[in-house]
Amino acid sequence: MMVVDVIFYAFAAVTTLAAIGVVSSRNQVHSVLFLILTFFSTAALFVLLEAEFLAALLVMVYMGAVAVLFLFVVMMLDMDVSDLKAQAINHLPLGLAVGAVILLELVVVLSHSHAHVAAASTVPNTLAIGRTLYTQYLYPFELASLILLVALIGAVVLTLRERKKVMRRQVISQQIARTRSEAVELVQRKPGEGA
């Protein structure tokens, strides 16, 4: 199992370094690219745990779709980082609080760790998920479709602008039907008064 350990530590190191890159790089586009690298190496870690479906999900959904979404958002906002830097100190307490909670959770989980995750199951990961998700967790699964529906409608409501269709076509009958009274207006102005 030596080789697997080496591979694990290599991918774990890449994950950590890329995650540091996400929060420390000055260019936001670079941040997103580091995020994609983090997703990818996490997917590799999932493969090492024999959780293939989760790995595929990370590559498909997170790298394929969410990262692209992030890129669009970053490019769409095009914000000035120097403004945010000045305000960063205001958000420090909140950030520290969230970080402390996550750290606490990690400590709790790791101290009760089951040392080895149940990887040595005989059925493939995807099959096991399929068997439980569509029987035992049927209700949450159907709820997920509603959540996705809400996401769809929300995205459309928030971002879709109705565009007035501008017709620039010439309508000859309208042009011919114009009369003098609706096309010309005579205005009496005294000299020197201007418009």
Partner 1 sequence: MLENYFPILLLLAVALATAVVMMAGSFLVGPKRNYAEKVAQYECGFAPLSRVRLPFDVRFYLLSILFVVFDIEAAFLFPWAVAFKDIGLTGLVEMLLFLMVLLVGYAYIWKKGALEWE
Range 168-189 burial, b when 16+ CB lie within 10 A, else e:
eeeeeeeeeeeeeeeeeeeeee
Paired tokens of 181: 């009274």
Q: Closest separation between CB of residue 130 and partner 1, Å?
A: 3
| Cβ distance to partner 1 smaller for residue 22 or 52 | 52
Cβ atoms 67, 32 nearer than 8 A: yes
Q: Is 17 or 97 the residue whose CB approaches partner 1 more closely?
A: 17
SS3 content of the chain, % helix, strand, coil (to 5): 75, 0, 25
Contact positions vs partner 1 (CB under 8 A): 4, 7, 47-48, 50, 53, 56-57, 60-61, 64-66, 68-69, 72-73, 75-78, 124, 126-127, 129-131, 133-135, 138, 141-142, 144-146, 148-149, 151-153, 155-156, 159-161, 163
How far apart, in whole angstroms, are the C-alpha atoms of residue 58 and residue 164? 40
Nearer to partner 1, 104 or 117 (CB): 117
The distance of closest approach from Cβ of residue 160 to partner 1 in the complex, given in angstroms and rounded to an integer, is 5
> What is the C-alpha separation between 27 and 74, in angstroms, rounded?
10
Closer to partner 1 by Cβ: residue 69 or 98: 69
By C-beta, is 60 or 96 nearer to partner 1? 60
Output the smallest distance, CB 18 to partner 1, in A.
14
Instruction: Region of 167 please: left (phi>0), alpha (psi -120 to 50) or beta.
Output: beta
Smallest distance from partner 1 to CB 109, Å: 25
